[in-house]
Amino acid sequence: EAGVVQSPRYKIIEKKQPVAFWCNPISGHNTLYWYRQNLGQGPELLIRYENEEAVDDSQLPKDRFSAERLKGVDSTLKIQPAELGDSAVYLCASSLWDSGNEQYFGPGTRLTVT
Amino acid sequence: AQSVTQPDIHITVSEGASLELRCNYSYGATPYLFWYVQSPGQGLQLLLKYFSGDTLVQGIKGFEAEFKRSQSSFNLRKPSVHWSDAAEYFCAVGKNTGGFKTIFGAGTRLFVKA
């Protein structure tokens, strides 16, 4: 079984530039999560999807961050414009059903904003 | 508000020695509890989880954890550490109220010396 796929693995951009991250969850997993992990910290939820619906985006900085999950499968997370403080690892995870089941994480995208 | 505390930022143990990683949580009801491991450059992998029942939980890679309600703790243990166990370990607590949400601790980095 293929795991959660994320791309790119690394991204270096200058501040004020846009950036996008892509995630392909495990086949059949209807719940998809985007997390941000700052250096030396645990992951923090940005947004959670149930199929194509964003059911929890309370922690997403909506002035510069956006996300979509068309057709309830792949998802894209975008930052525009990026700021220095956005440097972090962006993790995507999926789960089979959203009631405490375990989450499967992708390898993450390490973003560096210069 | 729920929270997770991992008191040890890093721990060093000798190969073959026993290991205990501490985790304390704050949550009003019986939580869902998890331990994840993250190797360098990788996503998080679930080691074990506790939802209910037996308070001693067995996980993968020889790990176990014990839920102690009176101490609000969920410590991770392994009787004999291998060099390949060197990684970052995250304790997490989940709640299922109006949708499932997982809060991660800041992590404990484990170093294994020969």
- B101 and A CB contact within 8 Å: yes
- A58-113, pLDDT tens digit by residue? 899 999 999 999 888 999 999 999 999 999 999 999 998 765 668 999 999 999 99
Q: Is B38 exposed, middle or buried (0-12, 13-18, 19+ CB in 10 A)?
A: buried
C-alpha torsion sign, points B28, B35, A95, B56: negative
Nearest to A93 by CA among A110, A75, A79, A72: A75
pLDDT digits (tens, 9 = 90+) for B81-107: 999 999 999 999 987 766 678 899 999
The 8-class DSSP code of residue A102 comes to P
What count of CB pairs under 8 Å joins A to B? 55
Chain B residues whose beta carbon lies within 8 Å of the beta carbon of residue A106: 43
Angle value at C-alpha A24, between A19 and A27, nearest 5 degrees: 170
B99 contacts in A (CB within 8 Å)? 48, 55-56, 98
Three-class SS state of A1 = coil
In one-letter notation, the amino acid at residue A108 is G
Task: Specify the pLDDT at position B100.
Answer: 75
User: CA B7, A93, A57 angle in degrees (round to 5)?
Assistant: 85
CB A102 to CB B46 under 8 A? yes
| Nearest neighbour of B99 by CB, restricted to A4, A98, A107 | A98
